[in-house]
Amino acid sequence: MTPRRALLGLHIGALAFGLTGVFGKLAIAAPLVIVFGRALFAVISLLPLAWRHARPGWRQLLLLAGGGLLLGGHWLTFFHAVKLSGVAVATLGFASFPAFTVLLEGLLFRERIRGMEWLTLVLVSAGLLLVTPQFELASTQTTGLLWAVLSGLLFALLSVANRASVKGIHPFQAALWQNLTIALCLLPLAWHLLPAVRPLDWLWLGLLGVFCTAIAHSLFVASLSVLKARSAALVFALEPVYGIAVAWWLFDEQPTLRMAAGGALILLAIALSARQKH
């Protein structure tokens, strides 16, 4: 793979991750069903990629199962936010995760928070204040944003947990077992809802599992064999941009000037966080 192809693949992967909220909104189904369907299709598509790599040990599988629960919680809260407040607000709320990651790593690993990381926290906080149209719990926009921020917190917890749980495990194996955990845990809860899922919704769920999960993950992993991790992280910082742009085009979710300013601050925080980590 040439650097140009790797960079193109990265942008396609970032677009795929960014379309998560779009497909979630297109699917006329409960978040529970959406998450189950996404995990199910992800498992099916990840199996051919993961089988050739060594299976994790039992202790690692337990840790991956815990990570799967966090990932499932992250997806559930994110899609709930999408249903309440739309793709743009949900995506920007979730994008607060770098700030949570900084705080969690400082608390759990007793890592000193540096000046640039404090700047990340300030930028994310200011961005979220601007994204919030009006802070009233009766407003679905505000409630949706809070669910999205909770989604970001769960994703940050997953990122921190993965520092221990996925060490020495191939990314495809880690993704497979975490998605399998989600599918198995949600199957008893989602089973009675599945007959009511429209055929078109199965298409959106399939795209979520295959394109937004397995393919995006594969492109990210493949690109790291050619590009620096810093470059990959910076490209993936464009994920919210792609998601919001497509939502604007499809659903006419035109961001206000204030929301755009808040989003710009959050994206700047993501970019700074990516540069700091790599």
SS3 per-residue string spanning 99-112: HHHHHHHHHHCCCC
Is 70 exceeded by the pLDDT of residue 137?
no
What pLDDT does 122 receive?
Answer: 82
pLDDT at residue 148, rounded to an integer: 92
Percentage of the chain beyond pLDDT 70 is 88
What percentage of the chain exceeds 90 in pLDDT? 36
**C-alpha–C-alpha distance, residues 177 and 171, integer Å:** 10
The model's pLDDT over 156-213, given as tens digits with 9 standing for 90+, comes to 898 888 776 777 888 889 899 999 999 999 999 999 999 999 999 999 999 999 999 9
Residue range 120-136: mean pLDDT, rounded: 74
Question: For residue 79, what pLDDT band results from cuts at 50, 70 and 90?
Answer: very high
- Could you give the CA distance from residue 66 to residue 214 in angstroms, rounded to a whole number? 20
* pTM, rounded to two decimals: 0.86
Reply yes or no on whether the pLDDT at 218 is more than 90: no
Say how far apart CA 116 and CA 99 lie, in whole Å.
11
